[in-house]
Amino acid sequence: MSVKIEPSWAKVLAAEFEKDYFKGIAEFLKAEKAAGKVIYPPGPEIFSAFSLTPFGNVKAVLLGQDPYHGPGQAHGLCFSVRKGVTIPPSLVNMYKELKADLDIDSPGHGFLEEWAQQGLLMLNASLTVEAGKPMSHSKIGWEQFTDAVIRKVSEEKEGVVFLLWGKFAQQKEALIDTGKHFVLKAAHPSPFSATAGFFGSRPFSKTNKLLEQQGKQPIDWRLTP
């Protein structure tokens, strides 16, 4: 598999692409497709988070776990779906908190690309999934790759705001140098846990305050309808 990834990330992650585990991911995906399995997101969109947020632009990181596994949902950004697709429950709750936090209304869709274009790296721990089978690719090596991504951001950048929602994401704090970065933890926005500490956490305004304190451009969380 020739990895088509944004040039700045290709340089930062060059060593990872040469490792056996990454070659194993490529071989696994090839075999699954050859066997007729449907994989999400489509091949050209597996690395969309990197294309939309070049390494030099990263000022905040939002961590997800697994791509959506329904038709037309996943397109390479955690929590995001394409326009015309029903807004997933976790994102509905994110919009509720955005309204409470910054009085910003839902755009009526779940397409979050504008956030990524402003420097929010929207990274899932696994970058692919088999249709209809959540977490089906969680053990094929993706987490080793995305852990390396988090480490690189931590090592080579300063003052990045990491949004860690839920227990899974919060385990990634061990990869982050909290002496030079900021970590905002909250419950996951899932309907199962949003009332246990996501609602009221004000992640959007807190992120912008931390960015502004460093003289960085805040994120405009408003999305074009």
Distance, CA of 216 to CA of 211 (rounded, Å)? 5
Distance, CA of 149 to CA of 175 (rounded, Å)? 10
Catalytic residue, chosen from 20, 66, 105, 177, is 66
Is 101 annotated as catalytic?
no
Query: Residue type for 209, please?
Result: K
Q: Are 112 and 221 in contact (CB under 8 A)?
A: no
Burial class (CB in 10 A: 0-12, 13-18, 19+), 213: exposed
Q: Sheet containing 120-124: give its strands across.
A: 120-124, 60-64, 161-165, 182-186
Q: For residue 47, how many other CB atoms are within 10 A of its CB?
A: 18
Residue 152's SS3 state is helix
Active-site annotation, residues: 66
